[in-house]
Chain A
């Protein structure tokens, strides 16, 4: 409000200043020829001065004076310079125009580009409002100096990287995460953190480099949510909605609703389902073991036969291939066996159980689970036969 009051006062004063000469009326003004006479007088003085110090001869002085005199006569006689000046002509339109135009035009243009309600936010003001932040910048600055001196300080890079990210200095954050990774070695968290800033810097596109980082992170730790989140995103961006839907749902079954990424994941899931023409379903909360979830199967059920086959088989084949590479993945085996069970492929299920037995012979609890699974497969088999 104060802003508008001050702005109104300024506008009023300026408008008044513009109107003053327009409304004054009855002033006195010299003729243009009077101005010429002033010049003539000044020139005469100059010539006399030049003559007095012998700068010019008296002949030259006389010639120059004659020339000036002729010029003065010429300018007085010519129409333009002896025109009388109207002291108070009709200024009505200028007055009305100024009064209307100045405030209106100014305010219209200002409202198009200004933000009258946004207060000043000086550094001092923001610092006193939030004292914790002061320490962040000064810490960061100190750390930066240290890092310039000792660029191989991996722990230092690890400290500043998230701070850069929070300050929006993405390029610095990328650099810091790269250095962390290079100097301290790979962990799933470091891999997926670097991947994350790369995605941010490329406006949300999961680049090949980032994709590779996420894959490595996910391989190293199946529990790493961040990498799975971005892998799901990448599937969507690569035009593989079927796989993307599966990945998002898998991710969401593990999530608590409080996790900050959940709304994004849900939105993505919806979008990908939209692509496939599926109505969104609430994620299954009953599935203890992540496999093709209830909704996956439902989703598959609503697809045409080819799409269904490709979806399921692609997924299961992927899992099987991965387990061949890394047979120690217990959760993977559980998922694979369960998948075969759900799909009604007892033979494959039995083979998987056998492989799993060999892969993890020392895990007693897992062996027990395998036994139960085998029984359940046989039961189902018997029921169908």
Chain B
């Protein structure tokens, strides 16, 4: 009964979202307060129904109810409990349900916490959210219903794809979806603004916290996905320019651009059209990503499969939403009046510079992702656009942007003096230069590029805090005054500095790993000792072992050096018995910010095995950087200035009487 109630709740939610698509929007048009207010209630009720539905599917998975087709396909009675939970969204149907659950979650957030929004805007936002919800619920119920039943129930399930049986899967997709789908709110805000025709600085101010929240989730989701691929796939890489990864990265780039351009729109009422377009494009890219992943047009490490009916359905959703919103955009954008003027060299100008590069980078990644697909559909030839393409296009685009990061926040609005801003950064520039030269000496001239990269990273990281340092006036005023000013600085300034510093940290990690990584690939026999990257690695042999739903050969290594003695590292080869699928579990040991990474090749009958070892200096900065970016985002979000109070009702009642 619980399963069927979940199914019923899902369909009830579908009915609700149809109402949500109509009633608040009509209410906003007619100026009917009751109908507008109903949007709030419907959104919350929808979310509750989705929660019931998701909970009942989870129940079916955890209790191994194989009369539910989705559970039978993706679960197994012997699967560890954690993966029975994560298996709920480790498959197509379940992950689509998670997708709409999060869509409903954001709509409910706006409904519950959007008290500072004008009623018309809020009603329209919820209405547009209802349209998206309706489309995706129709998709789920028609093509991917997770509640389809099997009668009689098979006795045992087919098990979850072993690659997906991992703690990373438990956290990464929900986080990614929170970011992906979070941008549906900015999309809804943009469409709502276009419906009502009111697109101004106030709109930007209302939409910014939502964009920032989605951006925080997306950043965290991508970083987590990257770390998951790093340790689970056993190739030692942290970013593969895999289409599925790109699908989440493109919205991140445009979303980052949106955050910056919305700032200009809020403060100066300029860049209105562009900001609106970014809000539409960001969610469109999320939809495109959903289509690429869910339709099965890609074959990649993200091995959830699919069928064409679904692909066509999502494509239709894609066309309707992207096409519809852009058409509306074309009509509305011509009506918009220009906002505040600014000189090319100004804070606004710097943010335009940022947008230009981020948007171009997004376009280049999009091209590299879609080109092989388009080519294949035209003449059937399968090509793969690999890392070289992205490194050649994306890398150079990022460089000017990185160099500009410290300068931007120091420019004043409207009109600024570039030279004086750069002069203010002499300390950061000098430190970066010294660090770069030291790095050059350290690498003994083998890699000039690496030294340049380290210098650039130092420039970004130190420069990020230049604004805070200068605003506080350390060295110019008394320490106590400086400290008072420091405390008075708004949270968003701190947030900006932290996020920018995170970018520098990420860059440092990337440069360090690319330039100084050491690799060892060797067939080792039991008892053999190898010296590698300052370690002494002893292979002690293979031991068979058995897990709940797999068997494995554990390779035992003893590692000494760099401050450790006889550290045990246990990379393994696993075989998941139900799907007969082998996986490699890497062993990773962290030394401060660097890591020693062991992965295995195939074992030989004589007990020897191929060891692939990497020494990755400062590799964890690649993930600590985004962590800092997320913390910066949270700091900025917590800034009370982003919150605008709701008007007091007493005041408005008087006005109504007057009106």
Nearest-neighbour CB distance to chain B for A42, whole angstroms, equals: 5
Nearest-neighbour CB distance to chain A for B343, whole angstroms, equals: 14
> Complex: how many Å from CA A80 to CA B196?
8
Within 8 A of B (CB), among A65-104: 67, 71, 75, 80-81, 83-91, 94, 97-98, 101-102
Cβ B577 vs Cβ A148 within 8 A: yes
Tell me which residues across on chain A come within 8 A of B269, comparing CB atoms.
71
Cβ A145 vs Cβ B8 within 8 A: no
> Complex: how many Å from CA A363 to CA B653?
117
Most buried by B among A27, A75, A85: A85
Give the contacting residue for B201; candidates A22, A38, A71, A97; CB below 8 A: A71
Cβ B7 vs Cβ A114 within 8 A: yes
User: A347 on the interface (CB 8 Å rule)?
Assistant: no
User: A39 on the interface (CB 8 Å rule)?
Assistant: yes
Chain A window 108-144, contacts with chain B (Cβ cutoff 8 Å), 1 for yes, 0 for no: 0110011110111111101000000100010001001
Q: How many residues of B contact A (CB 8 A)?
A: 95
Name the residue on B nearest A136 (C-beta).
B155
Cβ B38 vs Cβ A106 within 8 A: no
> Complex: how many Å from CA A133 to CA B156?
10
> Complex: how many Å from CA A199 to CA B648?
76
User: B136 on the interface (CB 8 Å rule)?
Assistant: no
Nearest-neighbour CB distance to chain B for A149, whole angstroms, equals: 7
Give the contacting residue for B31; candidates A45, A86, A101, A144; CB below 8 A: A86
> Complex: how many Å from CA A60 to CA B646?
28
Most buried by A among B141, B201, B412: B201
> Complex: how many Å from CA A121 to CA B659?
63
Nearest-neighbour CB distance to chain A for B68, whole angstroms, equals: 9
Nearest-neighbour CB distance to chain A for B351, whole angstroms, equals: 17
Cβ A144 vs Cβ B116 within 8 A: no
Nearest-neighbour CB distance to chain B for A134, whole angstroms, equals: 10
Give the contacting residue for B205; candidates A24, A39, A102; CB below 8 A: A39
Cβ A35 vs Cβ B117 within 8 A: yes
Tell me which residues across on chain B come within 8 A of A115, comparing CB atoms.
4, 149, 151
Nearest-neighbour CB distance to chain B for A187, whole angstroms, equals: 27
Within 8 A of B (CB), among A247-263: none
> Complex: how many Å from CA A55 to CA B118?
31
Tell me which residues across on chain A come within 8 A of B659, comparing CB atoms.
31, 84
Within 8 A of A (CB), among B380-427: 412-414
User: B30 on the interface (CB 8 Å rule)?
Assistant: yes
Give the contacting residue for A86; candidates B3, B30, B117, B647; CB below 8 A: B30
Tell me which residues across on chain A come within 8 A of B42, comparing CB atoms.
17-18
Tell me which residues across on chain A come within 8 A of B49, comparing CB atoms.
10, 14
Tell me which residues across on chain B come within 8 A of A120, comparing CB atoms.
1-3, 60, 63, 65, 67
Tell me which residues across on chain A come within 8 A of B198, comparing CB atoms.
80-81
User: B15 on the interface (CB 8 Å rule)?
Assistant: yes
Tell me which residues across on chain B come within 8 A of A123, comparing CB atoms.
63-66, 77
> Complex: how many Å from CA A202 to CA B111?
54
Cβ A22 vs Cβ B644 within 8 A: no
Cβ B655 vs Cβ A34 within 8 A: yes
> Complex: how many Å from CA A39 to CA B651?
16
Within 8 A of B (CB), among A1-53: 2-3, 6-7, 10-11, 14, 17-18, 20-25, 27-32, 34-39, 41-42, 45-46, 49-50, 52-53
Give the contacting residue for B35; candidates A91, A109, A113; CB below 8 A: A91
Tell me which residues across on chain B come within 8 A of A105, comparing CB atoms.
15, 18
Cβ A168 vs Cβ B154 within 8 A: yes
Nearest-neighbour CB distance to chain A for B447, whole angstroms, equals: 41
User: A167 on the interface (CB 8 Å rule)?
Assistant: yes
Cβ A37 vs Cβ B656 within 8 A: no
Give the contacting residue for B67; candidates A17, A32, A106, A121; CB below 8 A: A121
Name the residue on A nearest B202 (C-beta).
A39
Name the residue on B nearest A117 (C-beta).
B4
> Complex: how many Å from CA A137 to CA B655?
74
Most buried by B among A11, A29, A64, A80: A29
Cβ A122 vs Cβ B64 within 8 A: yes
> Complex: how many Å from CA A35 to CA B122?
12
> What total count of A-B pairs have CB within 8 Å?
255
> Complex: how many Å from CA A109 to CA B145?
12
> Complex: how many Å from CA A201 to CA B116?
62
> Complex: how many Å from CA A106 to CA B17?
11
Give the contacting residue for A118; candidates B149, B577, B645, B646; CB below 8 A: B149
User: A56 on the interface (CB 8 Å rule)?
Assistant: yes
Cβ A18 vs Cβ B31 within 8 A: no
Tell me which residues across on chain B come within 8 A of A119, comparing CB atoms.
1
User: A54 on the interface (CB 8 Å rule)?
Assistant: yes
Give the contacting residue for B5; candidates A6, A23, A28, A63; CB below 8 A: A6
> Complex: how many Å from CA A249 to CA B471?
100
Known: A141-B577, A145-B546. Is A91-B118 also a contact (CB below 8 A)?
no
Cβ A35 vs Cβ B32 within 8 A: no
Tell me which residues across on chain A come within 8 A of B147, comparing CB atoms.
113-114
Name the residue on A nearest B10 (C-beta).
A110
Cβ A38 vs Cβ B488 within 8 A: no
User: B281 on the interface (CB 8 Å rule)?
Assistant: no
User: B649 on the interface (CB 8 Å rule)?
Assistant: yes
Tell me which residues across on chain A come within 8 A of B145, comparing CB atoms.
113
Cβ A54 vs Cβ B38 within 8 A: no
Give the contacting residue for B412; candidates A41, A56, A84, A88; CB below 8 A: A56
Cβ A86 vs Cβ B32 within 8 A: yes
Tell me which residues across on chain A come within 8 A of B561, comparing CB atoms.
none
Tell me which residues across on chain A come within 8 A of B544, comparing CB atoms.
149
User: B453 on the interface (CB 8 Å rule)?
Assistant: no
Within 8 A of A (CB), among B153-190: 153-156
Cβ B141 vs Cβ A109 within 8 A: yes
Cβ B4 vs Cβ A116 within 8 A: yes
Cβ A36 vs Cβ B31 within 8 A: no
Name the residue on A nearest B1 (C-beta).
A3
Cβ B154 vs Cβ A167 within 8 A: yes
Cβ A91 vs Cβ B32 within 8 A: yes
Nearest-neighbour CB distance to chain B for A146, whole angstroms, equals: 10
Give the contacting residue for B65; candidates A32, A90, A122; CB below 8 A: A122
Within 8 A of A (CB), among B621-659: 641, 644-649, 651-653, 655-656, 659
Cβ B63 vs Cβ A167 within 8 A: no
Tell me which residues across on chain A come within 8 A of B151, comparing CB atoms.
115, 118
Cβ A35 vs Cβ B202 within 8 A: yes
Known: A30-B646, A31-B652. Is A22-B35 also a contact (CB below 8 A)?
yes
Give the contacting residue for A102; candidates B15, B44, B149, B648; CB below 8 A: B15
Cβ A14 vs Cβ B16 within 8 A: yes
Known: A18-B19, A88-B34. Is A71-B656 also a contact (CB below 8 A)?
no
Tell me which residues across on chain A come within 8 A of B12, comparing CB atoms.
10-11, 14, 102, 106
Give the contacting residue for B33; candidates A55, A56, A89, A137; CB below 8 A: A89
Known: A38-B646, A42-B645, A80-B198. Is A22-B19 also a contact (CB below 8 A)?
no
> Complex: how many Å from CA A140 to CA B264?
66
Nearest-neighbour CB distance to chain B for A26, whole angstroms, equals: 10
Chain B window 197-210, contacts with chain A (Cβ cutoff 8 Å), 1 for yes, 0 for no: 11011100100000
Give the contacting residue for B645; candidates A29, A32, A38, A110; CB below 8 A: A38
Cβ A49 vs Cβ B488 within 8 A: yes
Cβ B575 vs Cβ A148 within 8 A: yes
Tell me which residues across on chain A come within 8 A of B646, comparing CB atoms.
30, 35, 38
Within 8 A of A (CB), among B125-152: 141, 145, 147-149, 151
Tell me which residues across on chain A come within 8 A of B317, comparing CB atoms.
none
> Complex: how many Å from CA A356 to CA B390?
82
Closest 9 CB pairs of A and B: A123-B64, A34-B647, A30-B652, A122-B63, A21-B37, A89-B32, A121-B67, A53-B488, A30-B647
**What are 15 of the A-B contact pairs (CB < 8 Å)?**
A10-B49, A21-B34, A37-B647, A38-B645, A42-B205, A53-B484, A85-B36, A94-B35, A98-B23, A101-B15, A114-B11, A123-B64, A123-B77, A141-B577, A144-B577
Q: A41-B645, A148-B577 are in contact. List 16 more A-B contacts (CB 8 A).
A: A17-B42, A18-B42, A21-B38, A30-B118, A30-B649, A35-B202, A36-B202, A50-B490, A71-B200, A71-B201, A89-B30, A89-B31, A97-B23, A98-B19, A109-B11, A110-B11
